[in-house]
Structure 1
């Protein structure tokens, strides 16, 4: 039977020899996306939890009109110091819907998908996610 070869070094030895990782500059705390976290708390302290999605475009279209709030894109909110979904005004909703709908089944970026979030007190949010 052939002899086993001696290993030049175990993987753990190689990693240990690399030393500690260089310190990165602090750029604020990491906040996961609302989809990764399955919810988020807005700047007004309301907690939104992911209810369903990605939505069928027909359901999303109904929510453009009936949802209490609609979001598309992100913005940096100085009140809390991190990125949050950007809530749209009533006047912005139709244009945002047309833009999002055109990119739902896109094969090249940006690709949009719709999700529904709710609060404990019954508010509904149509959340349009953009994947670049």
Structure 2
């Protein structure tokens, strides 16, 4: 059932919890700040793609909740899960953890120059970890 007024309030609530301005959410989601404002103020109905982009940019959001509020069918993940290996399921759980996923969402939404910087930092961390034994703290 479509409830665009509740959708707008939920998106605003999530945006503020993520400490994002309209322009900040625009950068992370690729949805224009004026369009986000229109959704938040119940002036415009968003497409399914825009709802998914916003949900992916907002840590702590439930994509299916937002889709339902916008009047769209929820994502069907059940058929995909049956074909995943244990390693892929573990990876999905890791990626969907807000503490871990924020890095990957930032990486995916970053411009190529920033991505390269992030890869360099990650390589440096991996190089530093090579000689580390289980139970050792970083830098020991």
More helix as a share of residues? 2
- The structure that is strand-richer by fraction is 1
Structure whose CA Rg is larger: 1
Give the TM-score band, short-chain normalised.
under 0.3
User: RCO (CA 8 Å, sep 6+): is it higher in 1 or 2?
Assistant: 1
